[in-house]
Structure 1
Amino acid sequence: MKFKIFKLQDGNFSFERNILKKAFNFLMHRTEEISVFSQTKLSDHIEHIVFHIPDEYITGTKKGGIESTQHFSQFINLFVIDNKVVFIEEIKKNYTKLILENLNSQFAISLKECIIETQIMKDCIEHYNGNVKQLDVTDKHGDIVDGTEVIHLLPNNSFASEYEIESVAFQVRKIDSNDLISLYRNGRIITDSSSERRIFELFDFVGDKIGESN
């Protein structure tokens, strides 16, 4: 699963005031517009919201025109950590754009893209006892550095002040998990985990770190 991470511009993610009404409207009057399908509080820290986006497959040719259309429902997962950090499932970029526009217009919630700092990636690797599979790094001048040459320096406290991690892929080394996790400086996170519990724990850990940063 791939997610894009955002932070709240101001205040808190105040969603509960209108959520029941929005969900009721979805069930009673399904429209062609994006809508909230469900909302679940998973813990004191995590809230799970599902958006419904009606879409359609179109088949045809450039010269011959549209031959057929097939309507379908696309459901997008969104996780809110401590009312500050938001993980939006990234299936298509335009779906993410539609969700951001809906949050802003319907709930007055404004989100901004965030980056995953090098120190946060280091903390995540350490937390999961990660076996690094791939490391893309630049120095403080923005020049590309061969990740294989500096991977042994990752545990050093000075690493984050000398290098910036653009992306890292590592395998979790824990008794109950060998999930593969990829983190990207541009605010993307990918995991192959099939365990909801471990995915929620990952979001909770990363979201907490990002929430603490500026």
Structure 2
Amino acid sequence: MKRMKFTLFSVKNKSSFKNVKNLIKLFSDVDISIFHFNEISEDMVHVVFNIKDEYIFGTKISGNQLNMPMNQYINSFYDSTSGLLFIEYVNERYCDEVSQYLKENNVDLQRYQLTNEIMLKTLTLYNGFIKKVELTDSSGEVFLFEVLSIDVLLDKISDEKTKILSLLMLSNKNFISLTEAGIVSINNNDLDYLTNFVRLFPYVENN
């Protein structure tokens, strides 16, 4: 199974995202466009973005440079019930390109931060076994713990100023990784699993 990594966003005007369908351009010279748009269900959309990029090759001595065009396809899943958008994370620049493209086309979105509450809800939802967790306290000191029960974790974050920076759990042979910055990784690329994961992912208003 291929590992899938996503950056999470919250869409403010939920109905605006379906207008993205009108941006499909299979053959286009623009740097970024919609390659594929699929309404999986009434509340779930799968969109593939196409980013035009170039491989650049050269040598240390001659400095000769060869540019080779390439297309980078970025998957995304949008749940209109929660307003959460999962954009496949290849690198930060591609993610910025996709989010900026959507904003320019009237989709109002912002990064979705994962709070302690959201991470704990996800852990409980998937009956996860904690493999590793990274915490930080009010002084900024970082603590790393491995193989914890949820009760021990709850005790360690009982102080409201202690935050979960990252959490790695095992759930039914699937590793799920969450970070405070809104990065989610899953070692499962099955479409049905991914859409169900997006649909069930905890949403907290005004996050």
Cα distance in 2 for partners of 1:62, 1:86 equals: 42
1:185-213 superposed Cα distances (whole Å, 9 cap, x missing partner): 1100011113222222222222xx22545
Separation of aligned partners in 1, 2:57 and 2:123: 45
Backbone CA RMSD of aligned residues: 2.5
In 2, are the aligned partners of 1:52 and 1:74 still within 8 Å (CA)? Answer: yes
Q: Report what 1:48 is aligned to.
A: 46
- Relative to the length of structure 2, the TM-score reads 0.85
| TM alignment of 1:160-171, pairs within 5 A | 161=160, 163-171=162-170
TM-score normalised to structure 1 length: 0.82
1:103-133 superposed Cα distances (whole Å, 9 cap, x missing partner): 122x211321121111111111111111111
2:193 to 168, 176, 198: 198
For 1:45 and 1:70, how far apart are their aligned partners in 2? Answer: 39
Q: In the alignment, residue 14 of structure 1 is paired with which amino acid? A: S
Higher-helix-fraction structure: 1
CA distance in 2, matches of 1:65, 1:162: 52
Q: In structure 1, what is the Cα distance between the partners aligned to 2:159 and 2:113?
A: 14
Q: Which amino acid aligns with 2:108?
A: S
Which residue matches 2:112? 114
Between Structure 1 and Structure 2, the one with more strand by share is 2
Q: Secondary structure at the match of 2:107?
A: coil
Residue in 2 that maps onto 1:180? 175
Aligned residue identity for 2:5: K
Give the 5 Å matches for 1:1-214. Answer: 1-8=4-11, 10-17=12-19, 19-20=21-22, 22-23=23-24, 26-27=25-26, 29-61=27-59, 64-82=62-80, 84-105=83-104, 107-148=105-146, 151=149, 152-154=151-153, 159=158, 161=160, 163-172=162-171, 177-206=172-201, 209-212=202-205, 214=207
- The AA in structure 2 aligned to 1:110 is D
State whether residues 131 and 147 of structure 2, in contact with CA within 8 Å, keep that contact through their aligned partners in structure 1: no
| Count of matched residue positions in the alignment of Structure 1 and Structure 2 | 202
What is the CA–CA distance in structure 1 between the aligned matches of 2:95 and 2:63, rounded to whole Å? 28
Contact 1:118 1:160 in 2 (8 A): no
More deviation, 127-136/108-117:
108-117
**8 Å contact from structure 2 (residues 132, 148) kept in 1:** no
CA distance in 2, matches of 1:31, 1:119: 44
- With over 3 angstroms needed to count, the CA separation of the structure-2 counterparts of 1:123 and 1:70, relative to structure 1, is same
How many Å separate the matches in 2 of 1:140 and 1:148?
21
